[in-house]
Every structure is written in structure tokens, then in C-alpha cells.
Amino acid sequence: MSQSDMLPDESLLNEYRAPGDFLDTFSVSLKGRPDLQEADIRVLADHILNADIGWMNALLSARDRIARPFGLKTTGDLALEQSGTPLSSREPGDRIGFFKIYNVEDDELILGEDDWHQDFRLAITRRNDSSPRVFASTCCKRHNFFGYAYLALILPFHKKIAATVLDAARARKLRAA
């Protein structure tokens, strides 16, 4: 079961965030899931982020319909930028789902997007020690009033989605890359 957590000290997201930025972290145990512990970090991120959860997909679709008139980037527009590069070979600038890759390390992937109202980064960080876990940490840099209002509006949904996708990833079989 996922839980609210702290950003791991070793996360590269620590270099990105600044005082006043929004930050939250959720994590789930990987104990008993050697497939998730050993998977390429990009494959693990895809497994987490591209869960087929009906209510979540409906929320993202509604978000896109509301956001488009305000000139915000939509998930559909961003997904079209995805390359045909195999998942485990994707590098900064490529996408996993609608998320742009900013940094790839063995046990951490930094994804995100920059927009006129806010920039955000999502770190998928894996810790393979005696208590293996995967962490999903989100940092938002709000640029203006709309960025603050947007985050306040989506935050309850964001928290539910973050916990749900981690739980779903933990429960689902990992697809072959």
C-alpha cells in the first residue's frame, strides 16, 4: 500500500527544487517484486505512469477539455511528441507517455513539463536496499496566480492519482519492454 513519504536525500529533484516550490512524495514497497526492483528505470516509470485506470483517464480527459481554452498543454498534444525509440533507450528530450524525460540514472528518472503557468518535475526514484521502495515525487514551480490556482484545484486529484498509480503498479504484472 502506498504512503505519503519524504523526498529521498539522494534524489536529483533536490537540485531542482527551491524554497516556496510545491513538493510531495508518495512511495510503495517493492519487497517481493524483483521484476520491479531490477527493471530498467524507464520501464518501471512507464509501468507506473501508464496504468489504465478508468476514473483517472476520465479526469485527465476532463482536465484537457478545460485546459485547452486557457492555452495549457494537453496530455494528447504531448503524447503525440513521443518517439518510436524503445523504452529502455529513451533519453532526455524523449517522452514516456506525455511526460518529457529530463534526466536518466540507473535508479532515478526525472520527467516533467514547462508551461506558462508552472513548470513541474516528477522523479521516479527506486531504492534497492533491505527495504526496497519506489518513490514518486512531484515538484511544481508556479510562475503566476494561475499556477497557484491551478495547483490548488488539481491537488486533491493529484494526491489520489499518485497513490493509485503506485498501488496499481505494485499489484500489476510488469509487461515485457
Residue that is written with C-alpha cell 478508468 in the block? 54
Backbone angles phi, psi at 66, to 5 degrees: -75, -40
Of the candidates 174, 173, 175, 169, which has an alpha carbon nearest to the alpha carbon of residue 27?
Answer: 169
Report if residue 45 sits inside a domain: yes
CATH number, domain with residue 121? 3.30.530
Domain that holds residue 126: 3-171
Whether residue 92 has pLDDT greater than 90: yes
Q: Is 105 exposed, middle or buried (0-12, 13-18, 19+ CB in 10 A)?
A: middle
Count up the domains in the chain and report the number.
Answer: 1
Grid look-up 517493492 returns 30
Query: Does a structural domain hold residue 177?
Result: no
149: pLDDT strictly greater than 80: yes
Please, what is the angle between helix 41-49 and helix 145-171, to 10°? 100
User: Given this model, what pLDDT does residue 77 score?
Assistant: 60
Running DSSP on this structure, what letter comes out for residue 40?
A: -
For residue 176, tell me if it sits in a domain.
no
Q: Kindly report the average pLDDT of the chain as a whole number.
A: 90
Overall pTM surpassing 0.85 (yes/no): yes
pLDDT band at 76 (very low <50, low <70, confident <90, very high): low
